[in-house]
Amino acid sequence: MSTRTLLLPFVIAAGLCTVKAAMAPDSLVKRAAEAYAAGDHATALALFDSVALTHTSAALEYNIAHCHYRLGHIGPAVLHYERALLFAPGDEAIRADLELARQRVLDRMPTLPASPLRSLWDRLRGGQDPDQWAWRSILLVLGFFLLLSLSLFIRTRGPRLTAMVAAFLLLPFALGAIVLARVRHGELTGRGAAIIMAPRVDVLSEPRNGATKLYLLHEGTRVLLRQRNADWYEVRLDNGGVGWLAAERLEPI
Amino acid sequence: MRHFLPFILLLTSLPLVAQQITFTATVDRNNIAVGEQVKLTITLTNGQGGFTHPNLGGLEVLAGPMESSSMNIINGRMSTSVSRTFILTATRPGDYTIGPAETRVGNNVIQTDPIRIKAEKGSGAPTDRQLDQAQQANRDLFVTLNLSREKVYVGEQVVATYTLYSRHANIEITEQKVPALTGFWAEEVDLGRNTWDDGLKVVNGLQYRTATLKRQVLFPQRAGRMRIEPVTLALVVNRNAFNPFWSGSRLDIKSNAVELQVLELPTGQPAGFSGGVGDLQLGVRTDRTTVPANEAITVKVKVSGRSNLKLLEAPRLDLPTDMDTYEPKVTDRITVNASGMSGEREFEYLVIPRHEGLYQLPPVTFSYFDTKSGSYRTLRSDSLRIEVTRGTGGGVAGAPQDPAVQRSDVRALGQDIRYIRTGDLKLRPRGEFLYGSGAYYVGLAAPAFIFLILLGWRRKQLREAADGPGQRRRRAERVARQRLHAASAALKNSDRTAFHDALAKALEGYFADRFNLGPAQVTDERVRQELSAIANGELADAFIRLKREAEMARFAPVAAAPSQALYDEAATLIQRIETSDR
């Protein structure tokens, strides 16, 4: 008896809806929102999940997390809030609701105090569109070369120098945007952390069954992934402990 | 005649007052248990003649009609009254209606109002088996203990009746030991005076007089098989008041014991279960729907029916947070009779809204266990709309409304996740990112590439612009050709001056451009010097000759006709210089 068994009907329903999802994700989202408003969270979840097979966004992950939360699936709720937060790091609502979901996780995790610098960085990276820094970097590079080109064709000495200075002032921003785009891409595609999905799971000292048990973790707890070995992940706990977990017991964010 | 009139009126009014006719039918009670008696009295005051008996609607007449009549004369006014009394009983539970009785007054027929009687299944008679058992102990005198039901839920009411059966005429109960009831909450039924029941009961061929000793409504408090211990009586029978030597005989008798099966209430109690078990209705009303702020509204929640009413908990009023309420006042109108406990319990809430506005109070819900269907039921009232108008303020009347006085911190009531995102979710295909895609690198590289092309072109342009003499030389032929063209136009117009002028300019200009000289530097020596390298000085001679001819023609007073030959020669010459200097 685990969340997987509980989720089975939704997975089937999601499978049935795959074809429809490819056709009209917007209408599915609308129907899901109606079901959610009517308090039918299970139906809403099945519909949102079917959209999520082909599409994704911060808002979609947020809604899926809400459905799981209402249905009492705390592991999936935390997982999807984390995913939503990954898409939109600076979003206050997601952060607050993730905090509420975490309060229902059995393992108490040391939460980092919210530093103003950290939240500034989050807001800087943030936004709903994961491509925003890629677009910005393209625009800044374009601007840099436009200004340079302009300076080629200006005959007067003063304005020509101004254009060139402006171009080289733009250059660090362009390079910074490229770096940020790269960081965001790494965050979104990398598998840095994972959420425990089984109700309770032992962290072992070696990647094999029967190894020494080091820690006991519960559903919804977040671990950092270090490396993968066949069906096992080496994980790092928030308290600094390191051990091995079966890959099927957790879900990378 | 005038002062006779009041006198006649007085005479005629006297019999009118005396003959005020009333015709009523009354019963002593409307709710009975099966087998209980109800007294019906029909009274006709000042009527003439008799009246017809009503249709009793299925009730059985135990006794009657018994007629009584009276006549009063008070202060000369006479009134008569006839009443008939019936003792009725119901043999089966149900609703009975006693129809109207009729009497005739002149040409009119007066009717009484119909009366409703509700008969409920009462404690019933003891079963034959119980009677047999009890009778075996003492054929002349025994007590039975009987329960109205054998199988009940926890909290469901059951009526226990202790009945005395006697063949002795004279009985005196000296001691009555009722066992303590554990696991029950009991409510005594008031039996009134202890008297023998009317009529005789026949048990196994013997006639008995019966009397109800005690009747209790029991509410089991826990599940399981519960045993009710027998009651013990000490009696003296056949004491004769006129014979002091015969003090009667002492007897101790014991009733039967009974067992009751108490069922646990099923699981899945709704939230806010009131503890009610039975059959209940809910009624909610308010004394007013419009109220000034800070004044009280009374919300009355009435629960009525047959149940363990005295054990009901007050339903919770789900009020908006800026309304205050207090513990409800409980008013009971409960009757406990042979059919059990019924009636109503009223919870009166005092609700004080603190702020003006239009409020929709959520429905009052009341959950109980319905013994008929064996399931929990939740009753729900309509939601109440309350309009709170601006109050007079809690302060001194006439004092200015000072908002600071009533200010308070925002109250946090609970924590919950927010609502889902609706509208445009900004969906994007899963796993596709601009960064790292081909389009991204093209987008980055394209401006750089275009810039490099622009840079190369501009460099070339600048280099050429910096190379002045070369450019002048390259342009020399084109400029000369333009000037020759002007000369050719003058030739056509036979404009002699203009022709020679253009021709001279073409030649001199060409030479100056070609060798990067100023206009004054075009001298014969210079021409010879520059052109001698080309075609052994032949071209130099031709050039100097042509130049002189053109100048002479320009300044000569005698006009030489514009010559096509001269023009052709100049054009050829320029062409030759141009081609030989490659």
pLDDT of residue A23: 52
Of A171-175, B208-212, B280-284, the range with the highest mean pLDDT is A171-175
CATH class as words, domain B278-393:
mainly beta
Tell if the CB–CB gap between B435 and A182 is shorter than 8 Å: yes
A145/B451 touch (CB, cutoff 8 Å), yes or no: yes
Encoded tokens for B127: 């079963």
pLDDT above 90 covers what percent of chain A?
Answer: 21
Residue A196: strand pairing partners: A250
Cβ contact, residue pair A59, B454, below 8 Å: no
Split at pLDDT 50, 70, 90, the class of B35 is low
Write the pLDDT tens digit of every residue in B82-110: 888 888 887 777 888 888 888 887 778 88
Q: With beta carbons less than 8 A apart as the criterion, state whether A147 and A164 touch.
A: yes
- Closest A-chain CA to B422: A33
| Partner residue opposite B430 with nearest CB, options A55, A96, A146 | A55
The pLDDT assigned to A146 comes to 92
Which residue out of B415, B418, B421, B430 would a mutagenesis test of the A interface target, given it has the greatest number of A Cβ atoms within 10 Å? B421
* Domain limits, chain B: 19-120, 128-263, 278-393, 469-580
- Between B302 and B149, residue with greater pLDDT: B302
A11-61 pLDDT tens trace: 455 454 444 444 578 888 888 988 998 888 989 999 999 988 888 888 899
Architecture of domain B128-263: Sandwich (2.60)
Using one digit for the tens of pLDDT, what is the confidence trace for A115-174?
777 778 887 777 767 888 889 999 999 999 999 998 888 888 888 899 999 999 999 999
Nearest CA in chain B to A101: B417
Fold of domain A193-252 = SH3 type barrels. (2.30.30)
Question: What's the confidence (pLDDT) of residue B398?
Answer: 40
Q: What is the CA radius of gyration of chain A?
A: 23
Other CB atoms within a 10 A radius of the CB of residue B301 amount to: 20
Q: How far does the CA of residue A221 sit from the closest CA of chain B (Å)?
A: 19
What is the CATH code for B19-120?
Answer: 2.60.40.740
Hey, is the C-beta of A25 within 8 angstroms of any chain B C-beta? Answer: yes
pLDDT value, residue A244: 92
Percent of chain B with pLDDT over 90: 3
- Three-class secondary structure of residue B47 per DSSP: coil
SS (H, E, C) B431-454: CCCCCCCHHHHHHHHHHHHHHHHH
Q: B425-457 pLDDT, tens per residue?
A: 888 888 788 888 888 999 989 999 999 999 999
Q: Could you identify the residue written with the tokens 């994700």?
A: A25
pLDDT at B129: 67
Q: In the prediction, which pLDDT does A174 show?
A: 92
Which of A31-40, B30-39, B124-133 holds the top average pLDDT? Answer: A31-40
Show residues of chain A in contact with B417, CB under 8 Å.
66, 69, 97, 100-101
8 Å CB contact of B418 and A97: yes
Least confident range from B172-181, B183-192, B427-436, B527-536: namely B527-536
Q: Average of pLDDT values for B304-313?
A: 86
Gap between the Cα atoms of B573 and B550, Å rounded: 14
What is the C-alpha separation between B200 and A210, in angstroms, rounded?
Answer: 86
pLDDT of residue A166: 92
Nearest to A130 among B418, B433, B443 (CB): B433
pLDDT in tens, B68-79: 888 888 887 788
Of B417, B421, B429, the CB nearest to A59: B421
CATH, range A3-124 = 1.25.40.10
The proportion of chain B whose per-residue pLDDT surpasses 70, expressed as a percent, equals 86
Angle ∠(B357,B361,B363) on CA atoms, nearest 5: 165
Q: What is the 3-state secondary structure (H, E, C) of B247-313?
A: CCEEEEEECCCEEEEEECCCCCCCCCEEEEEEEEEEEEEECCCEEECCCCEEEEEEEEEEECHHHCC
pLDDT of B451: 92
For helices B468-492 and B496-514, give the axis angle rounded to 10 degrees: 170
Q: Is the pLDDT of residue B12 over 60?
A: no
The model's pLDDT over B461-497, given as tens digits with 9 standing for 90+, comes to 888 777 777 777 777 888 888 888 888 888 788 777 7
Confidence at B535, pLDDT banded by 50, 70, 90: low
Q: How far apart are CA A66 and CA A101, in angstroms?
A: 9
Contact check, Cβ <8 Å, A178/B458: no
Place B247 in a pLDDT band, splitting at 50, 70 and 90: low
In A, which residues are within 8 Å of B449 by CB distance? none
* Span A83-89, average pLDDT: 87
pLDDT band at B246 (very low <50, low <70, confident <90, very high): low
Tell which residue, B566, B476, B479, B580, has the closest CA to residue B532: B580
For residues B131 and B208, give the distance between their C-alpha atoms in angstroms, rounded to a whole number.
12
pLDDT tier for residue B11 given thresholds of 50, 70 and 90: very low
Query: Roughly what angle, to the nearest 10 degrees, separates helices A25-37 and A58-71?
Result: 30
Tokens 């009531």 correspond to what residue?
Answer: B413
Give the per-residue pLDDT at B10: 44
* pLDDT winner (highest mean) among A10-14, A237-241, B122-126, B217-221: B217-221
Residues A105, A108, A114, A115: is their CA dihedral positive or negative? negative
Q: Residue A65's pLDDT is what?
A: 92
CA distance B469 to chain A (A): 22
Average pLDDT over residues B303-330: 85
CA distance A236 to chain B (A): 26
B357: left (phi over 0), alpha (psi -120 to 50) or beta: left
CB spacing of A152 vs B458 below 8 angstroms: yes
With contacts defined as CB-CB under 8 Å, which chain A residues touch B418?
93, 96-97
Are B448 and A55 in contact (CB < 8 Å)? no
Q: Does B132 have pLDDT greater than 80?
A: no
As a whole number of angstroms, the distance between CA B547 and CA B529 comes to 16
For the cut 70, the answer to whether the pLDDT of residue B191 exceeds it is yes
pLDDT given at position A113: 61
**Contact criterion met (CB < 8 Å) for A145 and B435:** no
Residues A189/B435, Cβ–Cβ less than 8 Å: no
Average pLDDT, chain B: 79
Nearest chain A residue to B450 by CA: give it. Answer: A145
Q: Any chain B CB within 8 A of the CB of A181?
A: yes
What value of ipTM does the predicted structure carry? Answer: 0.77
Contacts of B415 in chain A (CB under 8 A): 100
Out of A53, A134, A146, the one facing B440 most closely (by C-beta) is: A134
In this prediction, residue B355 carries a pLDDT of 82
Q: B544 near B527, Cβ under 8 Å?
A: yes
Q: Are B280 and B346 contacting, i.e. CB atoms less than 8 angstroms apart? A: no
Give the chain A residue nearest B453 (alpha carbons).
A149
Output the pLDDT for position B452: 93
A72: which 2 tokens?
């009492």
pLDDT at residue A138 in the model = 92
Nearest chain B alpha carbon to A52? B430
Per-residue confidence at A64, pLDDT binned at 50, 70, 90? Answer: very high
pLDDT given for residue A20 in this prediction: 45
Cα B389–B394–B399 angle (5° rounding)? 100
Same fold, B19-120 and B128-263: yes
> Taking CB atoms and an 8 Å cutoff, what residues of chain B touch A60?
425, 427
Residues of B in contact with A128 (CB under 8 A): 426
Give dist(CA B93, CA A95) in Å, integer: 66
